[in-house]
Amino acid sequence: HILLSELESGGFSYSDTGSVNSLPITVEGVELGITVKQEEPGRFKLSVRSGRGIAANKLCALFGGGGHERAAGATVEAECYEAVRDRVLEAASELFGLQP
């Protein structure tokens, strides 16, 4: 996850974070990579990448987003990162039977 406070303290902007979306899925054994970036207070962007047989767009559709089967995104409104994390992990577990 990437929070606004972390970006600001490092002298970065939201637009500097685009290349991190694909990093989690490059790790051996990772089937579903989810990057959560805070766009503004109360608003978070999900970037989901998946391996074969796991539809990233189905997970994002649950949050009003979409995309391709193996690369998708959505925007989630929540008070804090932890609330987003919990909602997304619960949805992924129910949808795909995956355990974090």
Which has the closest alpha carbon to 55: 85, 92, 24?
92
User: Residue 49's CB: how many other CB atoms inside 10 A?
Assistant: 23
Predicted local distance difference test score (pLDDT) of residue 36: 94
Does residue 99 register a pLDDT over 70? no
Which has the closest alpha carbon to 21: 3, 7, 1, 51?
1
Does residue 100 register a pLDDT over 70? no
- For residues 92 and 90, what is the distance between their CA atoms, to the nearest angstrom? 6
> Quick one: which H or E segment has residue 86?
helix 81-96
pTM for this model (two decimals): 0.84
Predicted local distance difference test score (pLDDT) of residue 92: 94
pLDDT digits (tens, 9 = 90+) for 2-38: 787 887 788 877 677 777 777 888 889 888 999 999 9
Mean pLDDT score, 78-94: 95
pLDDT digits (tens, 9 = 90+) for 38-62: 999 999 999 999 988 899 999 999 9
